[in-house]
Structure 1
């Protein structure tokens, strides 16, 4: 997915087992952020920064949706533990991460593995991607400020 592309209508299933659609957010800008894993230090810092600035993001017309390949139960724990006010999509079949091009080979300590590249897509009121914050640009502890 690139700037100017229309985001897919069906985004996936959230932590409650509900289907999340683009049309559910008509008239709102969407912060669709992809992150590697629930309850890891960087992902927790990012989610909590978005939580702490959620009111400002909403005032600016944004709705926040997180996406990882963790399952619904993992998302529920992550939301409860960190008191997150936004929904998380459980992309267990990796359909959305592949559609958005954020799934690929990563390496840590010389070990190669497949994973999610931390990337944020800003989608406008018409469902078109207007900005992408790439993995190298994302600041987990200051992510809301980057968006605003």
Structure 2
């Protein structure tokens, strides 16, 4: 998502990444990596748990999950990963955002 961040923002979308680290560690990583989008610590997994994001210690912890939530708070797309590398292509997520934007103008 990082490499296509401009495409997401051009479509009026914002990316928010949750992570299990504490605020200082998370901020340090975000600054070192020069991440262009919002990063939020979710130490006790309260947010991740509310979206039923899986934690699998045998697969290195919290499994990736991607959600597109519209401006009304409705989940329009969800992808629960089966491995740490199971992340949808940006084009797939951008198509969902394009569809949502088209519906707004119909």
| Runs of 4+ displaced beyond 2 Å | 103-106, 143-146
Q: Which has the higher contact order (CA 8 A, sep 6+)?
A: 1
**Structure 1-normalised TM-score?**
0.55
Q: Which of 48, 53, 62 lines up with 1:116 in the alignment?
A: 62
Q: Does 1:84 align with 2:31?
A: no
More helix by percentage:
2
Q: Does 1:68 align with 2:14?
A: no
CA positional deviation for 1:89: 1.1
5+ residue gaps, structure 1, are 1-49
Contact 1:57–1:144 (CA under 8 A) maintained in structure 2 = no
CA positional deviation for 1:52: 1.9
Distance in 2 (alpha carbons) for counterparts of 1:98 and 1:145: 27
* More displaced stretch, 123-132 vs 73-82: 73-82
More strand by percentage:
1
Q: 1:57: which partner in 2?
A: 8
Q: How many residues align?
A: 91
5+ residue gaps, structure 2, are 95-106
**Structure 2-normalised TM-score?**
0.74
